[in-house]
Amino acid sequence: MAKLVLGCIADDFTGATDLANNLVRAGMRVVQTIGVPAGPLDADVDAVVVALKSRTIAPAEAIAQSLDALRWLQAQGAQQIYFKYCSTFDSTFTGEVRGNIGPVTEALMDALQCDFTIATPAFPDNKRTVFKGYLFAGDVLLNESGMQNHPLTPMTDPNLVRVLQAQCTRKVGLIDHAVVARGAAAIEERIAQLKAEGVSIAIVDAVSNDDLLRMGPALAKLPLLTAGSGVAIGLPANFGLAPSSQASALPKAGGKTAVVSGSCSLATNRQVLDFIQRGGAAMAIDPLRIAAGVDVAAEVLAWAAPLIDKGSVLVYSTAEAGAVKSVQGRLGVEEAGAMVERTIAAIARGLVERGVHQLVVAGGETSGACVQALGIAQMQIGPQIDPGVPWCHARSDAAPEAGLHITLKSGNFGSDDFFTKAFTVLA
Ligand code: ADP
C-alpha cells in the first residue's frame, strides 16, 4: 500500500468534499471519511480528508474532535496535516467566543510541536481572494458580502490578521502579496523573518491560482497547513504528483440511476425544473403528508420501482421560498427539515436496495442524512461534474456487492442540467 502523504481535517462535510475535489484535480488519489474512522485506512490513496462537523460547535469540542482526527491521521502515516475551514473564514461565534479556527489551529500546533503555520482561506476559483490580509468575497470585502448578517457565524471584520489574532494566544502576522508575487524563495525568506520576529501564524495573500501555485513549494516543510480548499492545488507537486486521469479513477459504474433532492436553493429549483422539462420521471414529496403520518417513502418507492428499469427518476421536496416558509410556519423550521431529511434518506436507501447504484443527492443537510442512512463510512473521490462536486464511490450495506457511485451536491452548486449531465460524466 502506498504511503499516505497528506492528512486533512475538514470542519464540515461539503467543505471536505470541496478540498478532496481540488486535491484529486491536482493529482492525488483521495478518500473522504465521514468522521474519524474506527479502524485503520483500507484504501490505497495519497490523501485522506476526515470530514468533521466542527464549524459551529464550541471550541473545546472542536479541538477534541480535531485532535482525535489528527491522531488517526498520524497513525496512518500522514506526512503533512491540512486543517480545512470555510473560504469565508467563519466558525462558531457567540458572545465571548469569536471563532474556533484559532483555538483548533493552536491545539494542532501544540500536538505537532509545530512552531509556524499559515492561514489563508483564499480560493480564487470561487472568488475568495486575500489582499493585504483583507478577505474579499467576489468584488466586495467580506463584511459587505452578506456574511456580516450570517445567522450563526457573522463576519464583521474583513482583516484576517485581526480576526485570527483575536482567536489566538500566538502572534499572527502577514505574508503579503508583494512577497507572494516574487515566488517560493521570497515566501520562505519571509517565513524565516516572521519567525525571528516571534510570529507563529501568518495570513498569506493570494488573488489568483498562480499565487497558490507559487505558495505550494514554500509550504513543503511545514508540518501543519491551515486554509480553505484553494491552497490544496499547489501541494501534490511537493510529493512528486501531477494531474492525471488516474487520480480520479473509480470502479466502473453500473446499475440503475436516480436523483433525490431535499435542497430548496435557487440552483436546485432550476435543476429540478430542467429535469422535468426534459421529460424525466419525477415525483414531489409533500412535507404536510409526511406530518399527517402517511408513509410517503413507501409510496415513492412503489412508484419508482417499475420506472428505474427504464431510466433515471427524480424524487424531490425542492420547493420555492414561499412554499417552504408556509410549510415551516405550520410544522416548525427544524421539525419540517428533519422530517423531510428522514424521508428522503429512507427513499435513497430504498432506491439503492432496489438496484440504484448511481445516485445524485442534492442538499448539504440532505446529503448528511442520506450518507448516514446508507451506512457510508468513506468515499473515494472521482471525476468532477461541476466545480466543487465530484462523483464518489462508496461501500454501503445497501449495495453489498459493488458498492455505489454517489455525488453530493450542495445547494447552489451545479449547472441547470446537473441532474442529467451527472450520469453522462460517469458513463
Ligand atoms: P442546501 O444545500 O440547498 O442548503 P440542505 O439539504 O442543506 O440544502 O437544506 C435544506 C433543508 O430544507 C433540509 O433540512 C430539508 O429537509 C428542508 N426541506 C426540504 N424541502 C422542504 C420543504 N418543501 N419544506 C420545508 N423544508 C424542506
Domains of the chain: 6-243 (3.40.50.10840), 250-426 (3.40.980.20)
Question: Does ligand 1 lie within 6 Å of residue 378's CB atom?
Answer: no
Chain centroid to Cα 77, Å, comes to 23
**How many Å lie between the centroid of ligand 1 and the Cα of residue 408?**
14
Give CA–CA dist 137/126, Å, rounded.
Answer: 9
* Residue 410 pLDDT: 84
> Is residue 152 pLDDT above 60, yes or no?
yes
Q: Calculate how far, in angstroms, residue 285's C-alpha sits from the geometric centre of ligand 1.
A: 12
Q: How far is the CA of 155 from the centre of ligand 1 (A)?
A: 24
Query: How many angstroms is it from 264 CA to the middle of ligand 1?
Result: 5
Question: Please, which pLDDT band fits residue 56 given cuts at 50, 70 and 90?
Answer: confident
Residue with CA closest to ligand 1 atom 17: 337
pTM over 0.75: yes
Q: Is residue 263 in contact with ligand 1, taking CB distance under 6 Å?
A: yes
Nearest CA to ligand 1 atom 6: 363
Q: How far is the CA of 331 from the centre of ligand 1 (A)?
A: 13
pLDDT of 347 strictly over 60? yes
Residue nearest to atom 24 of ligand 1 (CA): 324
- pLDDT band for position 2 (50/70/90)? low
Distance of alpha carbon 142 from alpha carbon 281, whole angstroms? 42
Confidence at residue 98, expressed as pLDDT on a 0 to 100 scale: 77
368 in ligand 1 pocket by Cβ < 6 Å? no
Q: How far is the CA of 363 from the centre of ligand 1 (A)?
A: 7
Model pLDDT for residues 221-269, shown as the tens digit of each residue = 999 999 999 999 999 999 999 999 999 999 999 999 999 999 998 999 9
Q: Which atom of ligand 1 is nearest to the CA of 317?
A: 20
**Ligand 1: centre distance to CA 55 (Å):** 19
Instruction: Indicate which atom in ligand 1 lies nearest the CA of residue 331.
Output: 25
Q: What is the mean pLDDT of the chain?
A: 95
Euclidean distance between CA atoms 59 and 301, whole angstroms: 42
Q: Does ligand 1 lie within 6 Å of residue 260's CB atom?
A: no
